[in-house]
Amino acid sequence: MKIAVIAAAVAVLAGISLSPGVIGATSLKKEAKAEKSPTSLSSVLLKQRQARGAYLARAGNCIGCHTTQGGLAYAGGRKLATPFGTFVTSNITPDKATGIGDWNEDDFWKALHEGKSRDGRLLYPAFPYTEYTKITREDSDAIFAHLRALEPVVQQNPPSQVASRYDFQPLLTLWRAAYFKPGVYQADPTKSTEWNRGAYLVQGLGHCSACHAERNPLGGMIGRKGDDKLGGGQIMGSNWYAPSLTSSLEASTAGWPIEEIVQLLTTGISPRATTSGPMAEVVSQSLQHLTKEDARAMAVYLKSLPETQSHQQVNPPAQTEQVQAWLRYGARIYKEHCQDCHGDSGQGAPGIYPPLAGNRSVTLTPPTNLIRSVLNGGYPPSTAGNPRPYGMPPFAQVLRDGEVALVLSYIRNAWGNRASLVTTAQVDKSREGITER
C-alpha cells in the first residue's frame, strides 16, 4: 500500500480545543480572579498549534520520507529512485545550516501549496506538492509550528541526482503547466461534512494518489473520470504495485462495511485483506495514529468511490499439457512450503494466515506484490490494534526463481482462482532492491 476540512474541525478531531475557555475549564475556579497575560496566552495557543501540527504531520506521514533507515526523525537522507533520477529527501528539522531553520510560515506554505522552494526554485514532484496543494493554510502553519519545535539535527544530505536530460527548470515549468494545478481543497456542498473530511485527507494530506495513481512516461498522473486518480499503478522506482482503490478486482472497498475499512486502515489487517510492503509502512507510521473520527471519514470517502474498470487484463492460461505439468510441479512446492499455514485448500487461518483462495491480491495483475511477498516475506505492520502480527518468512534464499514462478502460478490458478502465469523473468526482476527500504 502505503494517505488525504476546516481547521476548526481538524482541531476537534485531533482532540484539541482552540478555545482558551475550554482549555482552562478544569481550573476555572482557581483562575476566576486572574487573567492570563498576553505572553502566557500566546504560549498556550502555540503549544496547541504545535500539538495539532504533530498530529497532522503524522496523518501526512512526513516522517516516512524524511527519515532514512536508522536515521534521525525528519533529518532526511532517504533516497527515492525514479526513472528521472534518484531524489534525496531533505532535512526538515529547524537546523539553520542544513535544515529549514531559516524558513518562515510563508516559505513552508509556498513549498506545500505552490511546489516552490524558499529561493523560488521549482521543486520536483518527487515531493508530492501536487497533492499537498490541497492542504489549508491553517494546517500548513500548524505543521510548520510542529517542525519548528523539533530538536535541530545537523545533517547535510547529499544532493539529488537528477538525470541530465531532466535537470532543466524550464522543462519542469512545462511539466507543471500540464500536470499541476495549485488549489486548496474545496468542499463538495452536496456531500456530508464527514465525507468532505475524508476527501481532504485522502486527496490532500494523505496524498494517496502519489502511489495509487497510474502515471504516464513523464510521471504525470493519468486520471479517469470519477476515480479521483486512484486507479492503481506501479510505484515509481519501486518493485511494488499500488492497486486501484476504485476497482473491485483490485483494492476497492465499495462493498465493505465501514468498520472493516477502518480496521484495515488503522491496524493493517481485516477479515478481507492484509497490508504489506509500502502500505504496511504507511499504516504503521501514519494511519494507526488517526483519530477514530478521521479514520472513519477516510473510510466513508473510500467506500463512496465509484467503480471503475481495472486497466489490468486477466489472462488465465490455456490448460495445455505443458501448463498442467507446470501447475502440478507448483502444487508440490506449495505442499512442501506453504500448505501448513495456508491450508490444503488455500483457506488460511482466520486472523492468523490470510486465505489464498478467492484472494484478489493473489490474482492481481501484475503479480509484483505477490512475488515480493514471497521473496521478502509477508509482514503486516505492528500496530496498537494488532501488536504482534503473524507473518510469512522470506523465501528469497530458499526457492529458486523458477520455483517461485511455478508455485505462484499454481496458487493463482487453484481453488477457483484464475490469473496469468508468473514467469521466471518476473521473479528475477522483483529481486532487484529486496534489501532496500
pLDDT in tens, 50-105: 999 999 999 999 999 999 999 999 999 999 989 899 999 999 999 999 999 999 99
- Based on the domain organization, do 146 and 200 belong to the same domain? no
Task: Answer yes or no: is 207 a known binding residue.
Answer: no
| DSSP annotation string for 156-205 | -PPPPEE-TTT--HHHHHHHHHHH---------TTS-HHHHHHHHIIIII
pLDDT digits (tens, 9 = 90+) for 360-375: 999 999 899 999 999 9
The verdict on whether residue 289 carries a ligand-binding annotation is no
Tell me the angle at which helices 258-267 and 292-304 cross, rounded to the nearest 10 degrees. 120
Same domain, 254 and 361: no
- pLDDT value at residue 224: 55
Q: Residue 185 domain-assigned?
A: no
Assigned C-alpha cell, 68? 532514512
Is 62 flagged in the annotation as binding? yes
In a domain, 124, yes or no: yes
Residues 165 and 129 grouped into a single domain: yes
Ligand-binding site membership of 338 (annotated): yes
- At residue 351, the pLDDT reads 79
Same domain, 293 and 328: no
Cell numbers describing residue 275: 497490508
Shared-domain flag, residues 334 and 287:
no
For 320, other C-beta atoms within 10 Å of its C-beta total 9
Whole-number pLDDT of residue 239:
83
Residue 264 lies in a domain: yes
User: With 70 as the cut, is the pLDDT of residue 26 above it?
Assistant: no
Residue 151 lies in a domain: yes
Is 342 annotated as ligand-binding? yes
Total count of domains within the chain: 3
Give me the CATH number covering residue 331: 1.10.760.10
Q: Would 216 be classed as within a structural domain?
A: yes
Structure-block grid coordinates of residue 79: 533516497
Q: What is the pLDDT of residue 33?
A: 40
140 within 8 A of 113, measured Cβ to Cβ = yes
Residue 113 annotated in ligand binding: no
Residue 369 lies inside a defined structural domain of this protein? yes
**If you count them, how many residues does the chain have?**
437
Same domain, yes or no, for 89 and 121?
yes
Answer yes or no: do 197 and 173 share one domain: no
65 labelled ligand-binding: yes
> Are residues 290 and 166 both part of a single domain?
no
> In the structure, what pLDDT confidence band is assigned to residue 237 with cuts at 50, 70 and 90?
low
Judgement on whether residues 210 and 328 belong to the same structural domain of the protein: no
Domain boundary among 179, 210, 234: 179
Answer yes or no: do 327 and 419 share one domain: yes
Is residue 288 located within the same domain as residue 245? yes
Residue % of the chain over a pLDDT of 90: 76
Residue 231, domain extent: 193-304
Per-residue model confidence as pLDDT tens digits over 111-140: 999 999 999 999 999 999 999 999 999 999
Give me the amino acid identity at 249. L
For residue 36, pLDDT beyond 70: no
Whether 18 is covered by a domain: the verdict is no
- Of the pLDDT bands very low, low, confident and very high (cuts 50, 70, 90), residue 37 is low
Q: What is the pLDDT of residue 431?
A: 82
pTM for the full predicted model = 0.86
Q: Which residues of 342-375 are buried (b: 16+ CB within 10 A; e: fewer)?
A: bbeebebeeeebbbbbebbbbbbbebbbbbbbbb
Same domain, 407 and 366: yes
Indicate whether 34 belongs to any domain: no
